């Protein structure tokens, strides 16, 4: 196991920014009872009950079983290793009695699954420890710390995400090559699986749902298994797709139009809607920079589309992506009830955040949804891959 050394400065900076004295991460059999922060910290899993404590004075302490103690002493970035001879809770009590943190962050959060890795069973164990301390300890959600540590990608991580975006984009532009009379959404789905697998890539989310392929507006779409439907001249095709490699993922949507026999281009009203979505993506990207909020970014794109007479789409404008497809932390969204939480949409965005931008418009020929991946830099925002500028035309 190892700790990503590039993450340590981000951890300690986040503790200080949020006036938190210590961040406690605890669990066991984490491969079965997931603790989402562990793979972000490095190549880590908890098997026997284990606790890590990061402190504002820039130390990392590990409380581990006798079986693991010597191994943890070899991990760079861990400053002190405590062996628990009887129960882990007793040693947590001893360490906290020594540290005396007044504000302790724990991995629970009602609005973000990425910061909600502390199980109820482990929390109840900690409650007993806290009740025995001879001083009062305040426990707070570790959401702002997790959002920083998970969301602020390092240069190395950004390049791995960029690579996945470039490969997914490359595969998406090959789709017209397989389209002929009788081609179905399942054929496209299988093609995008096979081409990625043949070059050593995986899917960005569940294999049964990635990619999403919508070829007919009369057929349900969404996060579900593929429905085999023939492509139809005169309809749009939307593909939501990403590939994974080395623990990182991408998430793109590309738009296609299936030409009718007498057409050489898409109808003007289809192109008008496509260009509006394209330009809304670009406007949101140009507005994004450190310090603005996800709500503000959402409003740039949403108003551009609604002001042209189209309906507001029933989803966020974008989410963070990288370790997994929906990577937790701040999002780009309006004030619909499921998004209207200050920590999600009113917290300033940070340099190193990687986001999707994905507005949409529904018309009779299908839903137009372009999705691009971008990274926020110190001075603005960069595309991770060349954005789609024109509809991809398919001639059967």
- The helix/strand count (H/E) of the chain reads as 11, 20
CATH number at residue 129: 3.40.350.10
Q: Are residues 113 and 210 in the same domain?
A: no
Q: Are residues 11 and 45 in the same domain?
A: yes
CATH number at residue 160: 3.90.230.10
Average pLDDT over every residue of 130-152: 95
Q: Are residues 134 and 259 in the same domain?
A: no
> Domain of 232?
152-394
Q: Please list the residues that pair with 393 across neighbouring strands.
A: 257
- Using one digit for the tens of pLDDT, what is the confidence trace for 357-374? 999 999 999 999 999 999
Strand segments (E) across the chain = 2-3, 22-27, 42-43, 50-55, 59-64, 80-83, 103-106, 138-141, 202-203, 212-214, 236-241, 243-245, 248-249, 252-258, 354-357, 360-363, 366-369, 372-376, 381-383, 392-394
Last residue of a domain, one of 102, 130, 150: 150
Quote the number of domains for the chain. 2
| pLDDT confidence bin for 198, thresholds 50/70/90 | very high
Q: 154, 103, 358, 133: which is closest to 242 by C-alpha?
A: 358
Q: Are residues 143 and 157 in the same domain?
A: no
304 vs 336, which has greater pLDDT? 304
Please state the length of the chain: 396
Last residue of a domain, one of 150, 170, 199: 150
| Cβ-contact 319, 331 below 8 angstroms | yes
In the block, which residue shows the tokens 């482990």?
122
DSSP letter for 146, please: H
| pLDDT confidence bin for 107, thresholds 50/70/90 | very high
Pairwise CA distance, residues 21 & 228, whole Å = 54
Pairwise CA distance, residues 176 & 237, whole Å = 11
Q: Are residues 99 and 157 in the same domain?
A: no
Return the pLDDT at 222. 67
| pLDDT confidence bin for 31, thresholds 50/70/90 | confident
Average pLDDT over every residue of 271-293: 98
Q: Are residues 66 and 89 in the same domain?
A: yes
Q: Are residues 202 and 129 in the same domain?
A: no
Pairwise CA distance, residues 229 & 227, whole Å = 6
Supply the pTM of this predicted model.
Answer: 0.93
Q: Are residues 130 and 160 in the same domain?
A: no
Last residue of a domain, one of 150, 177, 198: 150
Q: Are residues 120 and 236 in the same domain?
A: no
Residue 265 Cα distances to 166, 394, 395, angstroms: 26, 10, 10
Return the pLDDT at 218. 87
Taking the alpha carbons of 22, 26, 30, 35 in that order, is the dihedral positive or negative? negative
Q: Are residues 300 and 182 in the same domain?
A: yes
Return the pLDDT at 283. 98
Pairwise CA distance, residues 324 & 353, whole Å = 13
Q: Are residues 54 and 158 in the same domain?
A: no
Q: Are residues 123 and 57 in the same domain?
A: yes
Looking at every residue in the chain, the average pLDDT score rounds to: 95
């Amino acid at each position: 196991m190892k700790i990503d050394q590039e993450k340590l400065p981000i951890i300690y900076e986040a503790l200080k920014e949020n006036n938190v004295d210590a961040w406690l991460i605890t669990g066991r059999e984490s491969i079965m009872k997931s603790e989402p922060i562990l793979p972000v910290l490095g190549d880590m899993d908890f098997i026997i009950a284990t606790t890590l404590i990061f402190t504002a004075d820039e130390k990392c302490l590990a409380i581990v079983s006798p079986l693991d103690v010597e191994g943890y002493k070899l991990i760079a970035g861990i400053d002190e290793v405590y062996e628990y001879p009887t129960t882990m809770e007793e040693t947590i009590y001893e360490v906290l009695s020594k540290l005396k943190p007044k504000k302790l962050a724990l991995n629970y959060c009602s609005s973000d699954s990425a910061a909600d890795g502390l199980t109820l069973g482990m929390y109840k164990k900690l409650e007993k420890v806290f009740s025995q301390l001879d001083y009062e300890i305040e426990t707070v959600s570790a959401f702002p710390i997790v959002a920083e540590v998970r969301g602020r990608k390092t240069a190395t991580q950004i390049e791995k995400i960029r690579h996945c975006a470039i490969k997914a984009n490359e595969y998406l532009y090959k789709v017209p090559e397989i389209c002929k009379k009788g081609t179905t959404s399942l054929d496209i789905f299988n093609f995008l699986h096979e081409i990625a697998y043949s070059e050593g890539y995986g899917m960005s989310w569940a294999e049964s749902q990635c990619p999403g392929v919508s070829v007919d507006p009369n057929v349900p779409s969404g996060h579900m298994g593929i429905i085999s439907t023939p492509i139809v001249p005169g309809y749009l095709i939307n593909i939501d797709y990403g590939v994974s490699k080395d623990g990182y993922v991408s998430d793109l949507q590309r738009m296609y139009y299936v030409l009718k026999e007498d057409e050489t281009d898409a109808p003007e009203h289809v192109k008008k809607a496509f260009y509006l979505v394209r330009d809304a993506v670009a406007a949101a990207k140009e507005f994004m920079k450190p310090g603005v909020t996800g709500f503000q970014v959402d409003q740039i794109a949403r108003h551009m589309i609604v002001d042209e007479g189209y309906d507001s789409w029933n989803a966020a404008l974008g989410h963070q992506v990288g370790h997994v497809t929906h990577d937790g932390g701040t999002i780009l969204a309006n004030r619909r009830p499921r998004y209207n939480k200050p920590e999600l949409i009113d917290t300033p965005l940070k340099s190193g955040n990687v986001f999707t931008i994905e507005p949409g418009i529904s018309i009779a020929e299908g839903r137009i949804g372009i999705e691009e991946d971008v990274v926020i830099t110190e001075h603005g925002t960069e595309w991770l891959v060349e954005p789609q500028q024109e509809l991809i035309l398919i001639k059967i």
